Structure 1
């Protein structure tokens, strides 16, 4: 019997008992993403039971209900809500007035069945360096927090306003001057079959990490690719099978140290190679 708490990572549950995937997916529709191997890889290792419950609009008790039959034993801990109630706001947030913060309520977008990731990334891109964007949501946007903290956000803080109201603040990093600026054109190259093959042949099979995102719904492809790039070793390349040239992904990579090579084979079939410069 495996002892778990609300802070146990979803990946630990799956490792202990793969049947937990279907069990968790049955709790709420947003959690059905766990059935997709690529999205599961992104989400499971980063999200705890408590965080997943909030993402799915469910409760920790819902998770206990479906996990107990799988031989898991639940141990009570101090809830995240109790921790948040005594946690002080960081200094950067305390010294900022509300008028200086860009508040963005994404609940109407989600209520309409859409994913607000693209709009949030654009909004944060427009946020001046050293300023704050606040995302208002009915749950803690844990994957978004991990995504923005990779490079763009200096720090984050989530304020639990009520049971289903969370304010997540993102402090944008101050601009840092680059010693050798590189234009987007130098980092993005379009290829024919022959020239793409030449770039591909530079890497051994062991150096290629392959991912197929064609079956994923938006913004799944972008999330999956960014997650893979986060852990890509220096001398490796990410080989991607895509349905289209991902414009918003290219915008995200424009100010990062990645070289992007694209070969559009035919309609609905685009090959990409991305590696660190």
Structure 2
């Protein structure tokens, strides 16, 4: 007998300024073999397609009105969900060899997914080897995955004021 999809509504988390990635990965870890995840979000979570795709899930997305989206992640045929945890890869690059940022962005006042979109657009406008610095409202877990997929290097940390500063070097 097939299990019903696990439903997770991340809209309240995002509305409060939170980062839903942890809640999403916790939900994925609790899924039974063959069970899917039905996610409700205030935007189309495209970076999550890649993250969960690497764990054997295929997305189906549809806009449900007012900018909200319903995305169902189902195990790909022949693959089972491992429930493995996600962590940002550690970048082993000597930052002292990086040039000063060619571009600096302040993305703190933007609503998701705009900080990530704006940062990626800035990186894509750079030439190989140039760097971009960005201030973000929270740790950019989805951005890490996207930067890795594109082959870019980065380093980042939380600032004392509570925002996240990332320096990205275009490959």
Q: What TM-score, normalized by structure 2, do the two folds share? A: 0.52
Which of 73, 84, 99 aligns to 1:200? It is 99
Q: Which has the larger radius of gyration?
A: 1
More helix by percentage: 1
- Bigger RCO (CA 8 Å, 6+ sep): 2
SS at match of 1:235: coil
Deviation at 1:125, TM superposition (A): 3.1
**Structure 1: gaps (5+ residues):** 1-94, 176-182
Which of 167, 170, 174 aligns to 2:73? It is 170
User: Quick check: 2:122–2:132 contact (8 Å CA) kept in 1?
Assistant: no
- Separation of aligned partners in 1, 2:7 and 2:73: 11
Aligned counterpart, 1:132: 36
Aligned counterpart, 2:119: 225
User: Quick check: 1:242–1:268 contact (8 Å CA) kept in 2?
Assistant: no
Cα deviation digits, residues 6-45 of structure 1 (max 9, x gap): xxxxxxxxxxxxxxxxxxxxxxxxxxxxxxxxxxxxxxxx
User: Quick check: 1:239–1:271 contact (8 Å CA) kept in 2?
Assistant: no
Aligned counterpart, 1:240: 133
More strand by percentage: 2
Q: What TM-score, normalized by structure 1, do the two folds share? A: 0.37
- Separation of aligned partners in 1, 2:158 and 2:99: 14
Cα deviation digits, residues 112-148 of structure 1 (max 9, x gap): x4356x21x22333425976321135x7x33x1x222
Deviation at 1:214, TM superposition (A): 4.5
Deviation at 1:233, TM superposition (A): 7.9
Report the count of equivalent residues: 150
Aligned counterpart, 1:87: none
SS at match of 2:128: coil
Aligned counterpart, 2:84: none
